[in-house]
Amino acid sequence: MGFGIMRNINVYRTRQICLLIAFFTVIIIRLFYKLDVGTINVTDEAWYGINAFEMFKSGNWLVPTLRGQIDYASKPPLGLWGILIGFKIFGTNLMGLRFYSAVAGLLTIIVICIYLYKRFDNRYALAAAAVFPVLWQCFDMHMYRAGDMDALFGLFYAIAIFALSEIARGDSRMIVVYWAAVGLGFMTKSMHVVVFLLVGFLYLPVIYKKLNVKDSVFGILAGLLPTVVWGAARYQVDGFKYIRCITLGEAGDQTRSGITLDYLRDISREKVTWLLAALLLVRLVMYFVHGVTDDSYKGAGLPEKRNLRNWFRIFGRDVFFFIKRRYLSILAYCVPIGVYTLAGHYMTWYIDPAYIAVIWIVSIEAIEISDMLGKTMKKRVFVLLVALACLFYSSVQIYQYKDLGEGGNPVDQFGHDMTEFCDNTSGEYAGCDAYIAYDRGRYVGDRGHWELDYVFTCNTKGNLNCLDGGVEGFLADEDSLLVLDSGLWDQYASVLTGYVFLEQNTFYVLSHDRYGE
Protein backbone atom coordinates (compact mmCIF):
# COMPACT_ATOMS: atom_id res chain seq x y z
CA MET A 1 0.00 0.00 0.00
CA GLY A 2 2.70 2.47 1.07
CA PHE A 3 4.84 1.62 -1.96
CA GLY A 4 1.88 2.19 -4.28
CA ILE A 5 1.17 5.60 -2.76
CA MET A 6 4.82 6.63 -3.07
CA ARG A 7 4.90 5.47 -6.68
CA ASN A 8 1.80 7.53 -7.49
CA ILE A 9 3.34 10.58 -5.81
CA ASN A 10 6.55 10.16 -7.82
CA VAL A 11 4.61 9.78 -11.07
CA TYR A 12 2.59 12.91 -10.20
CA ARG A 13 5.73 14.92 -9.47
CA THR A 14 7.41 13.67 -12.64
CA ARG A 15 4.44 14.81 -14.70
CA GLN A 16 4.49 18.22 -13.07
CA ILE A 17 8.22 18.61 -13.67
CA CYS A 18 7.74 17.66 -17.32
CA LEU A 19 4.92 20.18 -17.66
CA LEU A 20 7.02 22.89 -16.02
CA ILE A 21 9.90 22.16 -18.42
CA ALA A 22 7.48 22.27 -21.37
CA PHE A 23 5.94 25.59 -20.27
CA PHE A 24 9.34 27.18 -19.66
CA THR A 25 10.52 25.96 -23.05
CA VAL A 26 7.63 27.88 -24.59
CA ILE A 27 8.49 30.92 -22.43
CA ILE A 28 12.16 30.88 -23.46
CA ILE A 29 11.24 30.57 -27.13
CA ARG A 30 8.70 33.38 -26.71
CA LEU A 31 11.36 35.60 -25.13
CA PHE A 32 14.53 34.87 -27.11
CA TYR A 33 13.57 33.44 -30.51
CA LYS A 34 14.59 35.92 -33.25
CA LEU A 35 15.21 38.57 -30.62
CA ASP A 36 18.03 39.97 -32.73
CA VAL A 37 15.94 40.67 -35.84
CA GLY A 38 12.94 42.78 -36.61
CA THR A 39 12.43 46.49 -36.92
CA ILE A 40 13.65 48.67 -34.09
CA ASN A 41 10.82 50.65 -32.54
CA VAL A 42 11.25 54.38 -33.11
CA THR A 43 9.14 55.08 -29.99
CA ASP A 44 11.69 54.86 -27.15
CA GLU A 45 13.59 51.69 -28.13
CA ALA A 46 15.73 53.53 -30.66
CA TRP A 47 16.01 56.48 -28.28
CA TYR A 48 17.37 54.41 -25.38
CA GLY A 49 19.49 52.41 -27.79
CA ILE A 50 21.22 55.62 -28.88
CA ASN A 51 21.63 56.70 -25.24
CA ALA A 52 23.29 53.39 -24.42
CA PHE A 53 25.41 53.33 -27.59
CA GLU A 54 26.83 56.76 -26.90
CA MET A 55 27.47 55.87 -23.24
CA PHE A 56 29.15 52.67 -24.41
CA LYS A 57 31.31 54.51 -26.92
CA SER A 58 32.30 57.30 -24.51
CA GLY A 59 32.72 55.08 -21.45
CA ASN A 60 30.55 57.49 -19.43
CA TRP A 61 27.90 55.34 -17.74
CA LEU A 62 26.52 58.23 -15.68
CA VAL A 63 25.25 60.82 -18.18
CA PRO A 64 23.00 59.70 -21.06
CA THR A 65 23.41 61.69 -24.26
CA LEU A 66 21.39 61.81 -27.48
CA ARG A 67 23.28 62.56 -30.66
CA GLY A 68 26.11 64.08 -28.64
CA GLN A 69 23.98 66.30 -26.39
CA ILE A 70 23.04 65.65 -22.75
CA ASP A 71 19.60 64.04 -22.82
CA TYR A 72 17.41 65.59 -20.14
CA ALA A 73 14.38 63.59 -21.26
CA SER A 74 16.00 60.19 -20.71
CA LYS A 75 15.04 57.96 -17.79
CA PRO A 76 17.36 57.22 -14.83
CA PRO A 77 20.21 54.93 -15.86
CA LEU A 78 19.37 51.49 -14.42
CA GLY A 79 17.71 50.26 -17.63
CA LEU A 80 20.47 51.83 -19.74
CA TRP A 81 23.02 49.95 -17.67
CA GLY A 82 21.15 46.76 -18.53
CA ILE A 83 21.46 47.59 -22.23
CA LEU A 84 25.14 48.42 -21.77
CA ILE A 85 25.74 44.98 -20.26
CA GLY A 86 24.04 43.49 -23.32
CA PHE A 87 26.34 45.53 -25.56
CA LYS A 88 29.34 44.24 -23.61
CA ILE A 89 28.22 40.63 -24.16
CA PHE A 90 26.80 40.68 -27.70
CA GLY A 91 28.15 43.88 -29.20
CA THR A 92 26.27 47.01 -30.24
CA ASN A 93 23.45 45.29 -32.09
CA LEU A 94 19.78 44.40 -31.61
CA MET A 95 20.56 41.37 -29.47
CA GLY A 96 22.70 43.47 -27.17
CA LEU A 97 19.96 46.10 -27.03
CA ARG A 98 17.12 43.71 -26.17
CA PHE A 99 18.79 40.92 -24.24
CA TYR A 100 18.43 42.44 -20.77
CA SER A 101 14.68 42.95 -21.26
CA ALA A 102 14.22 39.30 -22.20
CA VAL A 103 16.22 38.26 -19.13
CA ALA A 104 14.06 40.56 -16.98
CA GLY A 105 10.99 38.83 -18.41
CA LEU A 106 12.40 35.42 -17.57
CA LEU A 107 13.26 36.56 -14.04
CA THR A 108 9.75 37.96 -13.64
CA ILE A 109 8.02 34.65 -14.34
CA ILE A 110 10.57 32.81 -12.18
CA VAL A 111 9.80 35.18 -9.28
CA ILE A 112 6.07 34.68 -9.80
CA CYS A 113 6.40 30.88 -9.93
CA ILE A 114 8.62 30.72 -6.84
CA TYR A 115 6.23 32.93 -4.91
CA LEU A 116 3.15 30.92 -5.89
CA TYR A 117 4.95 27.65 -5.12
CA LYS A 118 5.94 28.81 -1.63
CA ARG A 119 2.66 30.57 -0.92
CA PHE A 120 0.41 27.78 -2.27
CA ASP A 121 1.85 24.76 -4.11
CA ASN A 122 3.44 23.75 -7.40
CA ARG A 123 0.11 23.64 -9.28
CA TYR A 124 -0.18 27.42 -9.01
CA ALA A 125 3.36 27.86 -10.33
CA LEU A 126 2.49 25.62 -13.29
CA ALA A 127 -0.59 27.69 -14.03
CA ALA A 128 1.46 30.92 -13.98
CA ALA A 129 4.05 29.43 -16.36
CA ALA A 130 1.24 28.44 -18.73
CA VAL A 131 -0.41 31.87 -18.67
CA PHE A 132 2.72 34.05 -18.96
CA PRO A 133 3.38 33.54 -22.71
CA VAL A 134 -0.22 34.53 -23.47
CA LEU A 135 0.48 38.17 -22.55
CA TRP A 136 0.46 39.58 -26.08
CA GLN A 137 0.91 43.21 -24.98
CA CYS A 138 4.01 42.37 -22.93
CA PHE A 139 5.70 40.68 -25.89
CA ASP A 140 4.63 43.18 -28.53
CA MET A 141 6.56 46.36 -27.77
CA HIS A 142 8.34 48.08 -24.92
CA MET A 143 8.51 45.02 -22.68
CA TYR A 144 10.22 41.66 -22.93
CA ARG A 145 11.39 41.84 -26.55
CA ALA A 146 12.40 45.50 -26.67
CA GLY A 147 15.39 47.54 -25.55
CA ASP A 148 13.33 49.58 -23.14
CA MET A 149 12.79 50.16 -19.40
CA ASP A 150 9.41 48.50 -18.90
CA ALA A 151 10.53 44.87 -18.49
CA LEU A 152 12.86 45.72 -15.62
CA PHE A 153 10.21 48.00 -14.12
CA GLY A 154 7.69 45.14 -14.26
CA LEU A 155 10.13 42.83 -12.45
CA PHE A 156 10.47 45.28 -9.58
CA TYR A 157 6.69 45.74 -9.52
CA ALA A 158 6.19 41.99 -9.08
CA ILE A 159 8.76 41.91 -6.28
CA ALA A 160 7.09 44.85 -4.52
CA ILE A 161 3.64 43.23 -4.68
CA PHE A 162 4.84 39.89 -3.38
CA ALA A 163 6.72 41.64 -0.58
CA LEU A 164 3.46 43.29 0.53
CA SER A 165 1.77 39.89 0.47
CA GLU A 166 4.46 38.42 2.72
CA ILE A 167 4.12 41.33 5.14
CA ALA A 168 0.41 40.55 5.41
CA ARG A 169 1.36 36.99 6.34
CA GLY A 170 3.48 38.27 9.22
CA ASP A 171 7.01 38.79 7.86
CA SER A 172 7.62 42.45 8.67
CA ARG A 173 11.19 42.26 7.29
CA MET A 174 9.76 42.16 3.77
CA ILE A 175 9.09 45.90 4.04
CA VAL A 176 12.82 46.26 3.28
CA VAL A 177 12.31 44.29 0.04
CA TYR A 178 9.27 46.42 -0.84
CA TRP A 179 11.13 49.71 -0.40
CA ALA A 180 14.20 48.38 -2.23
CA ALA A 181 11.91 47.51 -5.17
CA VAL A 182 10.46 51.04 -5.00
CA GLY A 183 13.95 52.57 -5.09
CA LEU A 184 15.06 50.41 -8.00
CA GLY A 185 11.76 51.12 -9.77
CA PHE A 186 12.50 54.84 -9.53
CA MET A 187 16.00 54.23 -10.87
CA THR A 188 14.33 52.54 -13.86
CA LYS A 189 11.34 54.74 -14.76
CA SER A 190 11.45 57.68 -12.33
CA MET A 191 7.99 58.99 -11.37
CA HIS A 192 6.15 55.97 -12.78
CA VAL A 193 7.04 54.38 -9.44
CA VAL A 194 3.98 56.15 -8.04
CA VAL A 195 2.01 52.97 -8.84
CA PHE A 196 4.22 51.04 -6.37
CA LEU A 197 3.61 53.67 -3.70
CA LEU A 198 -0.12 53.88 -4.27
CA VAL A 199 -0.58 50.11 -4.04
CA GLY A 200 1.42 50.13 -0.80
CA PHE A 201 -0.60 53.03 0.60
CA LEU A 202 -3.96 51.42 -0.21
CA TYR A 203 -2.77 48.12 1.27
CA LEU A 204 -1.49 49.80 4.44
CA PRO A 205 -4.72 49.21 6.44
CA VAL A 206 -4.13 45.47 6.02
CA ILE A 207 -0.46 45.42 7.06
CA TYR A 208 0.18 48.39 9.36
CA LYS A 209 -0.27 46.35 12.55
CA LYS A 210 2.37 43.90 11.33
CA LEU A 211 5.03 46.52 10.73
CA ASN A 212 7.57 47.77 13.24
CA VAL A 213 9.59 50.95 13.32
CA LYS A 214 12.99 49.28 12.92
CA ASP A 215 12.14 47.35 9.75
CA SER A 216 10.27 50.34 8.30
CA VAL A 217 13.26 52.64 8.79
CA PHE A 218 15.64 50.12 7.22
CA GLY A 219 13.16 49.74 4.37
CA ILE A 220 13.00 53.45 3.62
CA LEU A 221 16.80 53.63 3.74
CA ALA A 222 17.02 50.70 1.32
CA GLY A 223 14.68 52.54 -1.04
CA LEU A 224 16.54 55.83 -0.85
CA LEU A 225 20.12 54.54 -0.94
CA PRO A 226 20.51 53.78 -4.69
CA THR A 227 18.77 57.01 -5.68
CA VAL A 228 20.80 59.15 -3.25
CA VAL A 229 24.12 57.64 -4.33
CA TRP A 230 23.32 58.05 -8.03
CA GLY A 231 21.73 61.49 -7.50
CA ALA A 232 24.82 62.76 -5.66
CA ALA A 233 27.05 61.62 -8.52
CA ARG A 234 24.74 63.16 -11.11
CA TYR A 235 24.55 66.43 -9.16
CA GLN A 236 28.26 66.93 -9.80
CA VAL A 237 27.51 67.13 -13.54
CA ASP A 238 24.64 69.61 -13.82
CA GLY A 239 23.23 70.25 -10.35
CA PHE A 240 19.52 69.58 -9.94
CA LYS A 241 18.63 70.24 -13.59
CA TYR A 242 18.35 66.60 -14.67
CA ILE A 243 16.77 65.50 -11.39
CA ARG A 244 14.08 68.18 -11.76
CA CYS A 245 13.39 67.00 -15.31
CA ILE A 246 12.80 63.36 -14.30
CA THR A 247 10.67 64.27 -11.25
CA LEU A 248 8.70 67.49 -11.57
CA GLY A 249 8.94 67.54 -15.35
CA GLU A 250 7.93 63.87 -15.68
CA ALA A 251 5.00 64.29 -13.30
CA GLY A 252 3.78 67.31 -15.24
CA ASP A 253 4.02 65.52 -18.56
CA GLN A 254 1.99 62.54 -17.33
CA THR A 255 -0.86 64.62 -15.86
CA ARG A 256 -1.34 67.24 -18.53
CA SER A 257 -4.47 65.72 -20.07
CA GLY A 258 -7.98 64.72 -19.04
CA ILE A 259 -9.34 61.23 -18.39
CA THR A 260 -8.81 58.67 -21.16
CA LEU A 261 -10.66 55.40 -21.72
CA ASP A 262 -8.09 54.05 -24.16
CA TYR A 263 -6.54 51.79 -21.53
CA LEU A 264 -9.88 50.08 -20.91
CA ARG A 265 -10.14 49.49 -24.65
CA ASP A 266 -6.66 47.93 -24.68
CA ILE A 267 -7.47 45.67 -21.76
CA SER A 268 -10.63 44.44 -23.46
CA ARG A 269 -8.53 43.30 -26.46
CA GLU A 270 -5.92 41.42 -24.42
CA LYS A 271 -6.40 37.66 -24.63
CA VAL A 272 -5.45 37.10 -21.01
CA THR A 273 -8.34 39.40 -20.05
CA TRP A 274 -10.68 37.08 -21.91
CA LEU A 275 -9.22 34.16 -20.00
CA LEU A 276 -9.69 35.97 -16.69
CA ALA A 277 -13.28 36.88 -17.59
CA ALA A 278 -14.00 33.27 -18.55
CA LEU A 279 -12.62 31.98 -15.24
CA LEU A 280 -14.64 34.47 -13.20
CA LEU A 281 -17.75 33.55 -15.18
CA VAL A 282 -17.16 29.86 -14.46
CA ARG A 283 -16.74 30.64 -10.77
CA LEU A 284 -19.99 32.64 -10.78
CA VAL A 285 -21.90 29.91 -12.61
CA MET A 286 -20.64 27.32 -10.14
CA TYR A 287 -21.73 29.54 -7.27
CA PHE A 288 -25.27 29.72 -8.64
CA VAL A 289 -25.36 26.04 -9.60
CA HIS A 290 -24.37 24.91 -6.14
CA GLY A 291 -26.80 27.41 -4.62
CA VAL A 292 -26.82 28.67 -1.05
CA THR A 293 -26.50 25.85 1.49
CA ASP A 294 -27.92 25.61 4.96
CA ASP A 295 -24.42 26.20 6.28
CA SER A 296 -24.33 29.48 4.36
CA TYR A 297 -27.48 30.66 6.14
CA LYS A 298 -26.15 29.64 9.52
CA GLY A 299 -22.75 31.19 8.83
CA ALA A 300 -24.43 34.47 7.95
CA GLY A 301 -26.52 34.38 11.11
CA LEU A 302 -29.76 34.27 9.12
CA PRO A 303 -32.93 32.29 9.72
CA GLU A 304 -33.33 29.21 7.55
CA LYS A 305 -36.29 30.75 5.77
CA ARG A 306 -34.94 31.20 2.24
CA ASN A 307 -36.35 34.42 0.88
CA LEU A 308 -34.85 36.75 -1.72
CA ARG A 309 -33.66 39.26 0.85
CA ASN A 310 -31.68 36.66 2.79
CA TRP A 311 -30.23 35.29 -0.42
CA PHE A 312 -28.89 38.71 -1.42
CA ARG A 313 -27.39 39.14 2.05
CA ILE A 314 -25.55 35.84 1.72
CA PHE A 315 -24.43 36.65 -1.81
CA GLY A 316 -23.18 40.07 -0.70
CA ARG A 317 -21.29 38.51 2.18
CA ASP A 318 -19.63 35.98 -0.12
CA VAL A 319 -18.64 38.69 -2.63
CA PHE A 320 -17.20 40.77 0.21
CA PHE A 321 -15.04 37.91 1.49
CA PHE A 322 -13.95 37.07 -2.06
CA ILE A 323 -12.80 40.66 -2.63
CA LYS A 324 -11.13 40.73 0.79
CA ARG A 325 -9.09 37.63 -0.10
CA ARG A 326 -8.16 39.12 -3.47
CA TYR A 327 -7.65 42.69 -2.26
CA LEU A 328 -3.91 42.92 -2.99
CA SER A 329 -4.17 41.34 -6.44
CA ILE A 330 -7.09 43.64 -7.27
CA LEU A 331 -4.97 46.63 -6.23
CA ALA A 332 -1.99 45.38 -8.25
CA TYR A 333 -4.23 45.09 -11.30
CA CYS A 334 -6.39 48.19 -10.96
CA VAL A 335 -3.96 50.82 -9.66
CA PRO A 336 -1.80 51.12 -12.84
CA ILE A 337 -4.93 51.22 -14.98
CA GLY A 338 -6.63 53.74 -12.71
CA VAL A 339 -3.61 56.04 -12.35
CA TYR A 340 -2.97 56.42 -16.07
CA THR A 341 -6.67 56.55 -16.94
CA LEU A 342 -7.08 59.51 -14.59
CA ALA A 343 -3.82 61.12 -15.72
CA GLY A 344 -5.07 60.96 -19.29
CA HIS A 345 -1.61 60.51 -20.83
CA TYR A 346 -2.05 57.55 -23.16
CA MET A 347 0.82 55.22 -23.97
CA THR A 348 -0.35 51.65 -24.39
CA TRP A 349 2.60 50.16 -22.48
CA TYR A 350 2.09 52.26 -19.33
CA ILE A 351 -0.33 49.72 -17.85
CA ASP A 352 1.89 46.70 -18.55
CA PRO A 353 2.48 46.14 -14.78
CA ALA A 354 -1.24 45.36 -14.50
CA TYR A 355 -0.77 42.35 -16.77
CA ILE A 356 1.77 40.93 -14.34
CA ALA A 357 -0.94 40.99 -11.67
CA VAL A 358 -3.26 39.16 -14.09
CA ILE A 359 -0.89 36.19 -14.14
CA TRP A 360 -1.20 35.94 -10.37
CA ILE A 361 -5.00 36.28 -10.42
CA VAL A 362 -5.59 33.87 -13.30
CA SER A 363 -3.32 31.23 -11.77
CA ILE A 364 -5.12 31.30 -8.43
CA GLU A 365 -8.58 31.33 -10.00
CA ALA A 366 -7.78 28.44 -12.35
CA ILE A 367 -6.50 26.19 -9.56
CA GLU A 368 -9.29 27.08 -7.13
CA ILE A 369 -11.95 26.37 -9.75
CA SER A 370 -10.32 23.04 -10.59
CA ASP A 371 -10.34 22.16 -6.87
CA MET A 372 -14.04 23.01 -6.66
CA LEU A 373 -14.70 20.48 -9.42
CA GLY A 374 -13.16 17.72 -7.30
CA LYS A 375 -11.54 14.56 -8.65
CA THR A 376 -13.89 14.23 -11.59
CA MET A 377 -13.74 14.16 -15.35
CA LYS A 378 -15.00 17.76 -15.32
CA LYS A 379 -11.82 18.83 -13.55
CA ARG A 380 -9.60 17.09 -16.10
CA VAL A 381 -11.52 18.63 -18.99
CA PHE A 382 -11.35 22.09 -17.39
CA VAL A 383 -7.60 21.90 -16.75
CA LEU A 384 -6.99 20.55 -20.26
CA LEU A 385 -9.02 23.34 -21.88
CA VAL A 386 -7.19 26.08 -19.97
CA ALA A 387 -3.78 24.56 -20.76
CA LEU A 388 -4.61 24.09 -24.45
CA ALA A 389 -5.95 27.64 -24.73
CA CYS A 390 -2.70 29.04 -23.31
CA LEU A 391 -0.51 26.78 -25.43
CA PHE A 392 -2.47 27.50 -28.61
CA TYR A 393 -2.33 31.27 -28.33
CA SER A 394 1.35 31.22 -27.32
CA SER A 395 2.13 29.02 -30.33
CA VAL A 396 0.25 31.35 -32.67
CA GLN A 397 2.35 34.27 -31.46
CA ILE A 398 5.61 32.34 -31.76
CA TYR A 399 4.70 31.24 -35.29
CA GLN A 400 4.34 34.88 -36.30
CA TYR A 401 7.99 35.49 -35.39
CA LYS A 402 9.06 33.62 -38.53
CA ASP A 403 8.51 36.77 -40.62
CA LEU A 404 10.53 39.07 -38.37
CA GLY A 405 13.14 40.97 -40.34
CA GLU A 406 11.69 39.88 -43.69
CA GLY A 407 8.82 42.31 -44.11
CA GLY A 408 10.64 44.82 -46.30
CA ASN A 409 10.41 47.59 -43.71
CA PRO A 410 12.48 50.60 -44.85
CA VAL A 411 14.47 50.62 -41.61
CA ASP A 412 15.29 46.93 -42.03
CA GLN A 413 16.38 47.56 -45.61
CA PHE A 414 18.43 50.53 -44.46
CA GLY A 415 20.18 48.29 -41.93
CA HIS A 416 20.90 45.71 -44.62
CA ASP A 417 22.36 48.38 -46.90
CA MET A 418 24.49 49.89 -44.11
CA THR A 419 25.88 46.44 -43.25
CA GLU A 420 26.76 45.88 -46.89
CA PHE A 421 28.32 49.35 -47.11
CA CYS A 422 30.52 48.73 -44.04
CA ASP A 423 31.58 45.31 -45.31
CA ASN A 424 32.50 46.70 -48.72
CA THR A 425 34.49 49.61 -47.29
CA SER A 426 36.05 47.62 -44.40
CA GLY A 427 34.99 50.27 -41.88
CA GLU A 428 37.07 52.96 -43.60
CA TYR A 429 34.42 55.62 -42.95
CA ALA A 430 33.80 54.90 -39.26
CA GLY A 431 33.36 58.17 -37.36
CA CYS A 432 32.59 60.13 -40.52
CA ASP A 433 29.76 62.70 -40.63
CA ALA A 434 26.67 61.49 -42.48
CA TYR A 435 23.62 63.32 -43.86
CA ILE A 436 20.40 61.72 -45.03
CA ALA A 437 17.68 62.43 -47.58
CA TYR A 438 14.67 60.11 -47.54
CA ASP A 439 10.91 60.15 -47.72
CA ARG A 440 9.15 58.70 -44.67
CA GLY A 441 5.63 59.83 -45.39
CA ARG A 442 4.83 61.70 -42.19
CA TYR A 443 8.13 63.58 -42.44
CA VAL A 444 7.55 64.97 -45.94
CA GLY A 445 9.08 68.42 -46.09
CA ASP A 446 11.81 67.53 -43.61
CA ARG A 447 13.76 64.91 -45.54
CA GLY A 448 17.10 65.94 -44.10
CA HIS A 449 16.18 65.11 -40.49
CA TRP A 450 17.45 61.83 -39.02
CA GLU A 451 14.79 59.85 -37.15
CA LEU A 452 16.04 57.90 -34.15
CA ASP A 453 15.53 54.40 -35.55
CA TYR A 454 17.74 55.34 -38.52
CA VAL A 455 20.28 56.98 -36.20
CA PHE A 456 20.59 53.84 -34.05
CA THR A 457 20.96 51.65 -37.12
CA CYS A 458 23.57 53.97 -38.63
CA ASN A 459 25.46 54.23 -35.32
CA THR A 460 25.59 50.51 -34.65
CA LYS A 461 26.22 49.37 -38.23
CA GLY A 462 28.70 51.99 -39.39
CA ASN A 463 29.59 54.13 -36.37
CA LEU A 464 28.72 57.22 -38.37
CA ASN A 465 28.01 60.66 -36.93
CA CYS A 466 24.44 61.48 -38.02
CA LEU A 467 23.87 65.18 -38.81
CA ASP A 468 20.72 66.93 -39.99
CA GLY A 469 20.79 69.03 -43.13
CA GLY A 470 20.06 66.65 -45.98
CA VAL A 471 21.61 67.09 -49.41
CA GLU A 472 22.44 70.75 -48.75
CA GLY A 473 24.36 69.79 -45.61
CA PHE A 474 26.28 67.12 -47.50
CA LEU A 475 27.24 69.50 -50.29
CA ALA A 476 28.51 72.05 -47.76
CA ASP A 477 30.53 69.50 -45.72
CA GLU A 478 33.40 68.18 -47.82
CA ASP A 479 34.38 65.38 -45.43
CA SER A 480 30.91 63.84 -45.15
CA LEU A 481 28.78 61.08 -46.61
CA LEU A 482 25.22 61.21 -47.93
CA VAL A 483 22.66 58.47 -47.40
CA LEU A 484 20.05 58.89 -50.13
CA ASP A 485 16.74 57.10 -50.59
CA SER A 486 17.04 55.67 -54.12
CA GLY A 487 13.50 56.86 -54.84
CA LEU A 488 14.70 60.46 -54.54
CA TRP A 489 17.55 60.18 -57.04
CA ASP A 490 15.69 61.81 -59.91
CA GLN A 491 14.98 64.83 -57.71
CA TYR A 492 18.61 65.34 -56.73
CA ALA A 493 20.44 63.91 -59.77
CA SER A 494 21.29 67.34 -61.13
CA VAL A 495 23.39 68.25 -58.08
CA LEU A 496 24.70 64.78 -57.15
CA THR A 497 25.76 63.41 -60.53
CA GLY A 498 29.50 62.72 -60.50
CA TYR A 499 29.84 61.90 -56.80
CA VAL A 500 31.15 58.39 -56.09
CA PHE A 501 28.63 55.75 -55.00
CA LEU A 502 29.90 53.61 -52.12
CA GLU A 503 26.65 51.66 -51.89
CA GLN A 504 23.85 51.31 -54.43
CA ASN A 505 20.79 49.47 -53.21
CA THR A 506 17.48 50.65 -51.74
CA PHE A 507 19.59 53.40 -50.19
CA TYR A 508 22.59 54.97 -51.88
CA VAL A 509 25.70 56.05 -49.98
CA LEU A 510 27.70 58.80 -51.69
CA SER A 511 31.08 60.29 -50.79
CA HIS A 512 32.68 63.57 -51.85
CA ASP A 513 35.04 61.74 -54.17
CA ARG A 514 34.27 62.41 -57.85
CA TYR A 515 34.40 60.01 -60.75
CA GLY A 516 37.34 60.74 -63.05
CA GLU A 517 39.39 62.54 -60.42
Cα(401)–Cα(403) distance, rounded to whole angstroms? 5
Q: Tell me, what's the pLDDT at 299? A: 47
Cα(217)–Cα(252) distance, rounded to whole angstroms? 30
Structural domain boundaries of the chain?
A: 2-258, 259-372, 410-514
Q: Is-above-0.75 flag for pTM?
A: yes
Q: Give yes or no for a contact between 436 and 448, defined as CB atoms under 8 angstroms apart.
A: yes
Q: Give yes or no for a contact between 510 and 502, defined as CB atoms under 8 angstroms apart.
A: yes
Sequence length of the chain is: 517
Q: Give the pLDDT band of residue 306 (cuts 50, 70, 90).
A: low
User: What is the mean predicted confidence (pLDDT) over 419-443?
Assistant: 83
Cα(298)–Cα(186) distance, rounded to whole angstroms? 50
Environment class of 34 (CB within 10 Å of its CB; exposed 0-12, middle 13-18, buried 19+): middle
pLDDT digits (tens, 9 = 90+) for 108-127: 999 999 999 999 888 999 99
Cα(50)–Cα(68) distance, rounded to whole angstroms? 10
Cα(132)–Cα(23) distance, rounded to whole angstroms? 9
pLDDT digits (tens, 9 = 90+) for 453-501: 999 999 998 889 999 999 999 999 988 999 999 888 999 999 999 999 9
Q: Give the pLDDT band of residue 297 (cuts 50, 70, 90).
A: very low
Q: How far apart are the first and last CA of the chain?
A: 95
Q: Give the pLDDT band of residue 294 (cuts 50, 70, 90).
A: very low
All residues at 6 or more sequence positions from 220 whose CB lies less than 8 Å from its CB, including other chains? 179
Task: Give the burial string for 421-433 (b: 16+ CB within 10 Å, else e).
Answer: bbeeeeeebeeeb
Nearest to 176 by CA among 193, 192, 159, 188: 159
Is the Cα dihedral 96, 250, 139, 131 positive or negative? positive
Q: Tell me, what's the pLDDT at 307? A: 58
The pairing of beta strand 433-437 with beta strand 69-70: unpaired
Q: Tell me, what's the pLDDT at 398? A: 87
All residues at 6 or more sequence positions from 260 whose CB lies less than 8 Å from its CB, including other chains? 340, 341, 344, 345, 346
Q: Is the pLDDT of residue 253 over 70?
A: no
